[in-house]
Amino acid sequence: MNFTKVTLETDIGYKLLKINLVNPYLLWKIFGLKTPQEYVRCLGPFQYASRLCIKKIKNKCERTHIKAAKIIRTTMGVMEDILNIHPKNTYIIHQLRDPRGTIVSRSKDNRLLIPGDLRREAKLLCSKMLDDIRIRRDLEKKYPGVFLETYYESLADAPLHMLNTIYNHTGLVVPSNVEKWIRDNTAASQDSGDIIHS
């Protein structure tokens, strides 16, 4: 996929809007939508959303100093395209998860790629993960200091530690309100940052 051709006016931008902006307060607060009707229209047909909502999102994003995107279900193969478009001050956090947890989660939600065959599913998933790690390691040689490997389990076990690791990697300081939110919403202990319960 050539990311130079992808913009927020495309279907991808619309899908981001549908998936992520489901909290009316967040939508109004961040993007300046004034009424519930505007919010409902933003979740409606693509033609309307692309004219009003995506334009507001794009304008807001272009004015911010720091931009972050969570990209899931893609491969490391597309990361070089992103780095070619944004060569300066771009950081990529490659979060890995124990494949057993992924397969259990997919199985519970009926999202297995090969229904009924956990062995083949595991082989396929592990092969994809290994390919991504190999590609990332090659890219790390070409783009030193860009990539950070993290683990889902570490984030769950020690959220404050991982928060600081990610912010340090990007050269940023953790804002106090972000740290407070992590403490309040993950039950991280005041002493170690470890999870007490979830």
pLDDT in tens, 83-131: 988 888 899 999 999 988 888 888 887 877 777 788 888 898 899 999 9
Q: How far is CA 156 from CA 81, 112, 151, in A?
A: 30, 23, 9
* Cα–Cα distance, 95 to 187 (Å, whole number): 22
Nearest Cα to 8, choosing from 50, 37, 70? 50
pLDDT in tens, 141-153: 999 999 999 999 8
- Segment 60-75 shows an average pLDDT of 78
Contact 50, 14 (CB under 8 A): yes
Contact 164, 129 (CB under 8 A): no
Helix axes 99-108, 118-142, angle to 10 degrees: 130
| pTM of the predicted model over 0.75 | no
Among 35-44, 63-72, 88-97, which range has the highest average pLDDT?
88-97
* Cα–Cα distance, 53 to 32 (Å, whole number): 9
